[in-house]
Structure formats: structure tokens, C-alpha cells
């Protein structure tokens, strides 16, 4: 694998040099030639199909998801590997629902172990949320029906059986869930799914020499979570995407088990973040890079409207090339405009909070805990009153006994892949089920503009304290946890009941 990658980089460099030469030494456009050799090294990005409403005569969105086993060839026919997926061998279809619509889903367990289906980011009652308390056995069907009542957003779904979440997600059980509303529909944003509105489920995997997906084989995997050495996007290895000359919207989902991705374009171009986990930001945030922790989502706009035929833009992280965009010869339908305003987001009003709770994240590997406790399915850690607004303070203390070089660790952690990967590896993405919250502050300072919208997962760096404002509008039993799935499986999770 490594060798192939190296060879590829070598040939890529050769191709690039060729382009420079041909474009400077001759007037003959050589793009078509280069584009095809560029593409032949790569695989067309797979786009998860949009689910069809099984009962279009009713206003509800009726769907059936089958969690089952399959075989996937990431690298070529010889290297098929056992995977899991919804309605297919790997990952799942995309679900698109409108605000106000009822989502009616039948989820069939065709695995040979218990599973659940969790709607990550959905404001839904505990019983419908599909957390670890709601497992169903092989052969069983879990049927849920709930109204979707929250702003347009890019959400996702994945299994959540305690102790098995990491493995099931890693093997391929995850999918994207798009909520639309009047605001998102009326904005001048790219909306043509699969064409200029592109979902990107970003993951990292590790494969054995014969192309089999491997899980938890290194000692470090249980310490910091399962990180791979091969990036996979929508289940595609080494993907390219052909884009037209227009504005492109990407819906990014960090669907990896443990890796925090610092995303940027190789040419360092600017792009605009328009949404965070729970929906649109109040206005686009212009940036050159974006950090996405496991579980987090973002929507971005990338302007290809003034690109030339044959131009490439490589989305990458310090460690990986994630996606190569290749501009084709078509004029896109969308003009290259960025809306000035997106949506109304009320200011964070902490005076509404009736209660403070503190969550201390600590430990490493099998010792990870929240408030010194590990998850217990039968214990309720927090009781919350329905519709109460609270301040949740999340502290990443790493080890008991106080910070040793805490400030340095925190700074390095924020720098991520460009700083000290070790410090980054001890950041915990804290996620709360059944809600969307607002970040009040990070270590006493206002959060960056990209975190001033709705969030359901927030990365807490080593020795950092993050305070969030959250209203509990749905009743039932839920969990909060670290979204590094191996930490979650090892007990860095607690449960709360809203009533
Ligand atoms: Cu992405 Cu507890 O979930
Ligand atoms: Cu969730
Ligand atoms: Cu963690």
C-alpha cells in the first residue's frame, strides 16, 4: 500500500512538471490528456444515493435501513474485504428530510450482534435517539417515528451499542442525514445533491497487506483511539471529484473513529464555512483551514466559478490527501456568489441558565472517565428538568493532579497536526445527545466565529475548559460522551434523563 502511494506521488509530481512544461513551452492545451492520466490514478468519489420515500402519498418520510454485512473492494477486485453497511456493503444512503416532516424509519438488524441506530445531532426524544440503551438483537426491527423540528443542518447516523460502537462504525455503519428548511431552501446556495452539493464522509482506515480492514491491532489504538493510515471518503480510496465551474458546497462529516482532521486546500485557497454541526452560521466565515473532530460536521463553499478547465484543488490534512477536485469544461449553473447573511442565530444568553454542571474528562486508554466514573448502562448520572437551560462546563484534565506543562500542551493541541500530534491526541470531542447547544467560551474567551452557531460536539483540548449553554427540549434517557469511539466504548460516557 505504502509503496503504491509513494509511486503515485512520484508520478503525480511528474505529471505536474509536465503540465508546467507543456503550458509554458507550447500553446497546445494539454489539459484533456493530463486530466485523464490524473484521473486514471484515482477513483471517482462515490456519492451516497439519496433515499426514496417509500410512501410518497403521505407527508412523512418513510424509509427502511438494513444494517448488514458486505464485501467492499477499496483497492481493486483482488482485495475485497468484509465490511458493514446500511442497505449496501459500506456506509449507508443519504437521508434528506424537511423541517416539519415526520421521519418514519424501520431499521432491520441483519448483523450477528446487537446494534442501535443513533441520529447524531437530531433533537429527538430519548427512545427515538438510538443511544446505547436502545439496542436491538439480530433479526429484530426497530421502528421509530418522530417529527423533525430543527433548523436545516448536516447530521448523521451511526450505531451505538455500548462497547461495540467503534467496531461497527469502523466497519462501515454510518450515513449522512440532511435536514432542509425554508431558510436553507431560499438561500442562494448550491443545492443540487451530488453535483454541487456534495457530502464528504471522511474516515481513516488501516488495512492488512492483503487489503483487509483491520481494527485495534496496535497498542496505541486503545490509548488514543483507532487511527488509520489511509484516508477514505464516502468509502472511496484516493478519490477525485469532477466539478463544474461554479460554487461547490461540501457537507463534511468527520466519520472517523479517533482522528481530528485539520482540513485545508493544498494551494491554500480561501473557502467559506457556512454551517456547523447543528445548522447554518449567521454569516459565512472566510477561512483557509478548518478543524473537524470525530462526530463534528461543517458545510463549506468553495468557489470554482472562475477556475480554468483542468484546474485542480486538493483538499487535504497535514497527513493525507483527502479529495482531488478537478474542474471540467462545463459552466456550472450556480454563480459564484457568497450570501452575506445566512440565518438568524440568537445571542448566547447565559442568564437563562438555571443550573451549572461540571464534567471532568480524564485518563487515557482503558482508564478514560468522566467525573471519575466509567459508563454504566444501569446508572443515571444526571437528572435534568424538561425545557431547562443549563450551563455544562467540560474540563479536560488529562491526569488527576493538575497540569504539568498544561499551557504548552493546550497550545500544541490546538495546533494539531502542525504542532504536537501527541497533545492533539489527548483532546476529547464532547458530544451530547438529543440537543443542539451553543459554545459560551473556551478558557474564558469567546469561541471562534466558526463555533458561534449550533453545535452538538465540541473539541476540548488538553487542560482546557469549555462552557456550553444547552436547553433540554426532549424528554427521555440520553448519553453524553467523548466521540473518540474507543474512548466511548471504554466508558468515557455518562447518561442523563430529561423529564
Ligand atoms: Cu455520534 Cu453518541 O454519537
Ligand atoms: Cu449523537
Ligand atoms: Cu476521548
> What does residue 22 show for φ and ψ, rounded to 5 degrees?
-65, -35
Query: Would you say 162 and 65 are in contact if contact means Cβ atoms under 8 Å apart?
Result: no
Please say if the pLDDT value at position 5 is more than 50. Answer: no
Evaluate: CB of 118 within 6 angstroms of ligand 1: yes
Cβ-Cβ contacts under 8 Å for 243 (sequence gap 6 or more): 196, 304, 325, 326, 327, 328, 332
Query: Would you say 147 and 182 are in contact if contact means Cβ atoms under 8 Å apart?
Result: no
Q: What is the atom index within ligand 1 of the atom nearest the CA of 479? A: 2
Three-state DSSP class for residue 169: helix
Cα separation of 354 and 388, whole Å? Answer: 7
C-alpha 206 to ligand 2 mean position (Å): 25
Evaluate: CB of 481 within 6 angstroms of ligand 1: yes
- Predicted TM-score (pTM) of this structure: 0.91
Task: Report which of 203, 175, 5 is spatially closest to residue 97, judged by C-alpha positions.
Answer: 175
C-alpha 486 to ligand 1 mean position (Å): 12
Cα separation of 443 and 463, whole Å? Answer: 9
Evaluate: CB of 431 within 6 angstroms of ligand 1: yes
Q: What is the atom index within ligand 1 of the atom nearest the CA of 433? A: 2
Query: Would you say 231 and 204 are in contact if contact means Cβ atoms under 8 Å apart?
Result: yes
Tell me the pLDDT tens digit for each residue of 294-310.
Answer: 999 999 999 999 999 99
Residue nearest ligand 1's atom 1 by CA:
120
Tell me the pLDDT tens digit for each residue of 458-499.
Answer: 999 988 999 999 999 999 999 999 999 999 999 999 999 999
pLDDT band at 10 (very low <50, low <70, confident <90, very high): very low
Ligand nearest to the CA of 296: 1
Q: What is the atom index within ligand 1 of the atom nearest the CA of 493? A: 2
Q: Mean pLDDT for the chain? A: 90
C-alpha 491 to ligand 3 mean position (Å): 10
Q: What is the atom index within ligand 1 of the atom nearest the CA of 156? A: 1
Tell me the pLDDT tens digit for each residue of 76-103.
Answer: 777 899 999 999 999 999 999 999 999 9
Q: Which residues surround ligand 2, an ion (CB under 5 A)?
A: 120, 433
Evaluate: CB of 433 within 6 angstroms of ligand 1: yes
Question: Rounded to an integer, what is the distance from CA 167 to the centroid of its chain?
Answer: 17
Task: Report which of 104, 31, 48, 36 is spatially closest to residue 310, judged by C-alpha positions.
Answer: 31
Ligand nearest to the CA of 122: 2
Evaluate: CB of 162 within 6 angstroms of ligand 1: no
Q: What DSSP state is assigned to residue 434?
A: T
Query: Can you give the pLDDT at residue 309?
Result: 92
C-alpha 434 to ligand 2 mean position (Å): 7
C-alpha 263 to ligand 3 mean position (Å): 20
C-alpha 16 to ligand 1 mean position (Å): 41
- Using the Cα atoms of residue 470, residue 471, residue 473 and residue 477 in order, give the sign of their dihedral: positive
Give strand pairing partners of 98.
180
> What does residue 47 show for φ and ψ, rounded to 5 degrees?
-110, 120
Which of the residue ranges 17-31, 212-226, 265-279 would you say has the lowest mean pLDDT? 17-31
C-alpha cell at 216: 485495534
- DSSP-assigned states of every residue in 386-412: TT-EEEEEEEEEESTT--SSHHHHHHH
Amino acid at each position: 500500500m505504502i509503496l503504491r502511494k509513494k509511486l503515485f506521488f512520484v508520478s503525480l509530481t511528474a505529471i505536474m512538471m509536465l503540465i508546467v512544461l507543456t503550458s509554458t513551452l507550447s500553446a497546445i492545451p494539454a489539459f484533456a490528456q493530463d486530466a485523464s492520466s490524473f484521473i486514471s490514478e484515482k477513483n471517482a468519489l462515490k456519492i451516497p444515493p439519496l433515499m426514496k420515500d417509500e410512501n410518497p402519498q403521505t407527508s412523512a418520510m418513510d424509509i427502511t435501513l438494513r444494517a448488514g454485512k458486505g464485501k467492499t473492494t477499496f483497492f481493486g477486485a483482488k482485495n475485497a474485504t468484509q465490511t458493514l453497511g446500511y442497505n449496501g456493503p459500506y456506509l449507508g444512503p443519504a437521508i434528506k428530510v424537511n423541517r416539519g416532516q415526520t421521519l418514519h424509519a424501520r431499521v432491520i438488524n441483519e448483523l450477528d450482534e446487537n446494534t442501535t441506530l443513533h441520529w447524531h445531532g437530531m433533537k429527538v426524544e430519548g427512545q427515538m435517539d438510538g443511544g446505547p440503551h436502545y439496542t436491538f438483537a439480530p433479526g429484530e426491527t426497530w421502528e421509530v417515528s418522530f417529527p423533525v423540528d430543527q433548523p436545516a443542518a448536516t447530521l448523521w447516523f451511526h450505531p451505538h451499542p455500548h462497547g461495540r460502537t467503534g467496531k461497527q462504525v469502523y466497519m462501515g455503519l454510518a450515513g449522512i442525514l440532511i435536514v432542509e428548511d425554508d431558510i436553507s431552501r431560499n438561500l442562494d446556495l448550491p443545492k443540487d445533491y451530488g453535483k454541487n452539493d456534495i457530502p464528504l464522509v471522511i474516515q481513516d482506515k488501516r488495512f492488512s497487506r492483503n487489503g483487509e480492514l483491520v481494527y485495534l491491532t496496535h497498542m496505541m489504538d486503545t490509548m488514543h483511539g483507532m487511527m488509520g493510515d489511509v484516508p477514505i471518503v464516502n468509502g472511496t480510496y484516493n478519490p477525485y471529484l469532477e466539478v463544474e465551474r461554479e460554487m461547490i458546497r461540501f457537507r463534511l462529516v468527520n466519520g472517523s473513529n479517533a482522528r481530528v482532521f485539520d482540513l485545508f486546500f493544498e494551494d491554500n485557497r480561501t473557502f467559506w464555512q457556512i454551517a456547523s454541526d447543528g445548522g447554518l452560521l449567521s454569516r459565512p466565515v472566510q477561512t483557509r483551514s478548518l478543524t473537524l473532530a470525530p462526530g463534528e460536521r461543517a458545510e463549506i463553499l468553495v468557489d470554482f466559478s472562475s477556475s480554468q478547465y483542468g484546474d485542480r484543488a486538493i483538499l487535504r490534512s497535514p497527513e493525507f490527501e483527502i479529495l482531488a477536485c478537478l474542474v471540467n469544461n462545463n459552466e456550472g449553473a450556480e454563480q459564484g456568489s457568497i450570501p452575506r447573511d445566512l440565518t438568524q442565530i440568537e445571542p448566547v444568553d447565559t442568564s437563562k441558565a438555571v443550573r451549572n454542571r461540571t464534567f471532568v474528562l480524564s485518563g487515557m486508554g482503558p482508564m478514560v472517565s468522566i467525573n471519575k466514573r466509567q459508563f454504566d448502562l444501569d446508572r443515571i448520572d444526571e437528572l435534568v428538568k424538561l425545557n431547562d437551560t443549563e450551563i455544562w462546563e467540560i474540563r479536560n484534565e488529562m491526569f488527576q493532579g493538575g497540569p504539568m506543562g498544561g499551557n504548552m500542551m493546550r497550545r500544541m493541541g490546538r495546533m494539531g497536526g502542525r504542532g504536537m500530534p501527541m497533545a492533539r491526541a489527548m483532546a476529547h470531542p464532547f458530544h451530547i445527545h438529543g440537543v443542539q447547544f451553543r459554545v459560551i467560551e473556551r478558557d474564558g474567551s469567546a469561541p471562534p466565529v466558526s463555533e458561534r452557531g449550533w453545535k452538538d460536539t465540541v473539541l476540548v483540548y488538553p487542560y482546557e475548559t469549555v462552557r456550553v449553554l444547552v436547553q433540554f427540549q426532549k424528554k427521555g434517557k440520553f448519553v453524553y460522551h467523548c466521540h473518540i469511539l474507543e474512548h466511548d466504548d471504554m466508558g468515557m460516557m455518562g447518561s442523563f434523563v430529561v423529564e
